[in-house]
Amino acid sequence: MARLYQIIAGIAVVSTFLAPLARATPEVATGNQDTVPDKHVSLSGPINARFVAAIEQISSRYPTIRILVIDSEGGEIEAAMQLGRLIKERGWDVAVINKCLSACANYVFPAGKRKRVLPNSWVGIHEKTRQFHWADGSMHYVTGNEIEAAMTKVDAASTKAAHQWEADDAASFRSLGLSTAFIQDFTNYISSRKRVLGVEDIHQFPDVPGCPRYRFWALNKKQLEDMGITNIDEFWFPTTKAEELALYKDKILPAGSIYIGGAEKLSTFCKGPALNWFQRLLLKREPQP
């Protein structure tokens, strides 16, 4: 029987946040320090069920914790929702060091009572994404507005599960008072790039004039507030090209793959007719980053 799979995440690391340049170590601890006052716990890595279970244990063991310091590229959506609910129930603040992307940006950061984005850190969203197992056992990673069509290629149980996830996702956004407009804007861009290039994977081809290969959208403070995220006490955002390039320092993304700007400009990319087979063949010969 085909099964629906959410975003796959690896093993998370739980550690003490010592300073902006400190490296995460595989241990659990809490403490006081000047950059993030009061008791806190620092987490680094993809969000998954083990990640959340560790946080629940820590919150029970250290009831004085008031701040979650996080560095995450995202992870399992259901686990991130659960972590967001825990943060909201505990009344914790959330501070971002380095990055808070994808599920972290959608469900964890907004749940904080107060929020901070520390220097050289960023909050980024991307398009709707799902992973499916087809009836033949093959796995397919689906992005953009094509998810609904992909559901027709799996069995009834998987389709039902996918619709249930959509309902849970919508309920989570409502509980946090969030708008999905920015995610939909980026989803529309992704679908436009796939249409123009004639591909299922937007990363298959490098940048094309008028159709850049953006993978994330780094939102500024006003955009986050427009999304419905409130109580942002401190917020760093790049104001120079050098600071923008610093966003790639963790080497999770190639330079130029982060979009910085408004929805109106984003909507102008990847318009016009689809490229023909010969144009796509030439693109395939371009060096991949």
Q: What percent of the chain has pLDDT over 70?
A: 81
- Count other C-beta atoms under 10 Å from residue 222's C-beta: 12
Q: Spell out the alpha helix ranges (H) of the chain.
A: 49-61, 77-90, 103, 147-150, 156-175, 181-197, 221-227, 241-245, 263-266, 277-284
Burial environment of residue 244 by CB neighbours within 10 A (0 to 12, 13 to 18, 19 or more):
middle
- Would you give the distance in Å from CA 186 to the centre of its chain? 12
Distance of CA 257 to the CA centre of its chain: 14
| pLDDT at residue 76 greater than cutoff 50 | yes
List, for residues 98-135, the tens digit of each pLDDT value: 999 999 999 999 999 999 999 999 999 988 777 676 66
- The tens digit of pLDDT for each residue in 25-49 reads 223 334 433 344 458 888 899 999 9
Q: Report the pLDDT value the prediction gives residue 180, as an integer from 0 to 100.
A: 92
Mean pLDDT across the chain, nearest whole number? 80
In this structure, what are the phi and psi dihedrals at residue 217, rounded to the nearest 5 degrees? -120, 110
30 touches 55 (CB < 8 A):
no
* Cβ atoms 77, 103 nearer than 8 A: yes
CA dihedral 118, 61, 73, 179 (to 10 degrees): -80
Q: Evaluate if residue 10 carries a pLDDT over 80.
A: no
Asked if the model's pLDDT at residue 74 lies above 70, the reply is yes
Residue 286 banded pLDDT, cuts 50, 70, 90: low
CA neighbours closer than 13 Å in the CB half-sphere of residue 55: 31
Residue 289 has what pLDDT?
Answer: 46
